[in-house]
């Protein structure tokens, strides 16, 4: 496939879709549904729903075009051996990581709350990266998976904009990946942090990456497929 250009901030983004992966960060029930980790931190989880439709459209477009799709999930081993005490020992005991909630143990792998929301469920062939931290590169094999597939560019979506999306984009940028963040396919419990988080990525000439929308990326992807 030829190189495409996507309208973006701070300037148009050049991309070779053959060397691009869609990375969907932590669209888990634990963050999007009542009774999970996000809610245990005192957040209004309904604020994240806006990202589901755009993520779904981007997922469909990426699958149709044959792009590598990677899903991530934040969570811990059932024995919590990989959960730093500094992360666990926060808030009242009944709301901590590992405590039992309506979707099972909070932020624990294998529990219903740890699953990706059904609208965005991974299909066979799509790597799922389980990560113990905020960044998707920290203590995972994401870098290895991307290198094995010759990926140089990441289309990044998911939640939350200023926490796991931002941390992952910063990690990716330091590792030499070019990141385009899909503004409408990301969301935060804090609309002001979402806006500022995106602005921070594109500021200073694209200090961490580029920002665009699902519609712009899908239009460029369709045009590239027609031209192929």
Asked if 136 interacts with ligand TIU (CB under 6 A), we say no
- H helices of 72-141, in order, are 85-88
* Closer Cβ to ligand TIU, 54 or 61, answer by number: 54
Residue 66 has φ and ψ, to the nearest 5°, of 80, 20
Taking the C-alpha atoms of residue 147 and residue 217, their distance in angstroms, rounded to an integer, is: 23
Residue showing tokens 């920002």: 211
Q: Please check whether residue 187 is in contact with residue 159, taking contact to mean a CB–CB distance below 8 angstroms.
A: yes
Residue 9 or 74 having the CB closest to ligand TIU: 74
Render the burial of 178-192: b for 16+ CB within 10 Å, e for the rest: bbbbbbbbbbbbbee
How far apart are alpha carbons 143 and 171 in whole angstroms? 10
| Total chain residues near ligand TIU (CB under 6 A) | 10
Residue number, 64 or 89, with CB nearest to ligand TIU:
89
Judged by CB under 6 A, does residue 62 bind ligand TIU?
A: no
Which of the residues 2 through 31 are near ligand TIU (CB under 6 A)? Answer: 26, 31
CB neighbourhood size of 121 (10 A): 12
CB of residue 43 to ligand TIU, shortest distance in Å: 7
The residue range among 85-93, 109-117, 157-165, 205-213 that interacts with ligand TIU, by the rule CB under 6 A, is: 157-165
Does residue 26 have an active-site annotation?
Answer: yes
Token pair belonging to 15: 């991309």
| The binder of ligand TIU chosen from 22, 65, 155, 164 (CB under 6 A) | 164
Kindly identify the residues of this chain, within the stretch 64-123, that bind ligand TIU according to CB under 6 A.
Answer: 74
Find tokens 């931002």 and name the residue: 166
- Best CA proximity match to 168, nearest among 17, 23, 15, 16: 23
* Residue placing its CB nearer to ligand TIU in the complex, 153 or 160: 160
- Prior bond of 10 cis (ω within 30°): yes
Candidates 49-57, 98-106, 122-130, 159-167: pick the segment binding ligand TIU (CB under 6 A): 159-167
Of 7-15, 52-60, 85-93, 156-164, the segment contacting ligand TIU by CB under 6 A is 156-164
Nearest position to ligand TIU, beta carbon: 164
Q: Any catalytic annotation for residue 131?
A: yes
How near is the Cβ of 14 to ligand TIU at its closest, in Å?
29
3-state secondary structure of 127: coil
Q: Which residues bind ligand TIU (CB under 6 A)?
A: 26, 31, 41, 74, 134, 159-160, 163-164, 189
């Amino acid at each position: 496939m030829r190189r495409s250009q996507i309208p973006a901030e701070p300037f148009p983004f050049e991309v070779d879709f053959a060397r691009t992966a869609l990375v969907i960060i932590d669209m888990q029930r634990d963050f999007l549904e009542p009774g999970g980790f996000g809610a245990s931190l005192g957040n209004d989880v309904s604020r994240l729903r806006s990202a589901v439709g755009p993520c779904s459209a981007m997922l469909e477009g990426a699958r149709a075009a044959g792009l590598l799709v990677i899903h991530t999930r934040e969570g811990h081993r059932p024995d919590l051996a990989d959960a730093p005490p500094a992360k666990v020992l926060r808030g009242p005991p009944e709301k901590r990581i590992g405590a039992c909630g309506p979707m099972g143990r909070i932020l624990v792998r294998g529990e219903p709350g740890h699953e990706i929301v059904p609208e965005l469920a991974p299909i066979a062939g799509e790597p799922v990266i389980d990560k113990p931290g905020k960044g998707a590169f920290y203590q995972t094999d994401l870098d290895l998976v991307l290198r094995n597939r010759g990926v140089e560019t990441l289309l990044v979506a998911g939640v939350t904009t200023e926490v796991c999306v931002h941390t992952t984009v910063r990690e990716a940028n330091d590792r030499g990946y070019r990141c385009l963040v899909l503004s409408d396919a990301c969301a935060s419990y804090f609309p002001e942090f979402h806006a500022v988080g995106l602005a921070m990525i594109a500021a200073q000439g694209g200090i961490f990456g580029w920002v665009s929308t699902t519609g712009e990326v899908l239009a460029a992807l369709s045009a590239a497929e027609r031209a192929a």
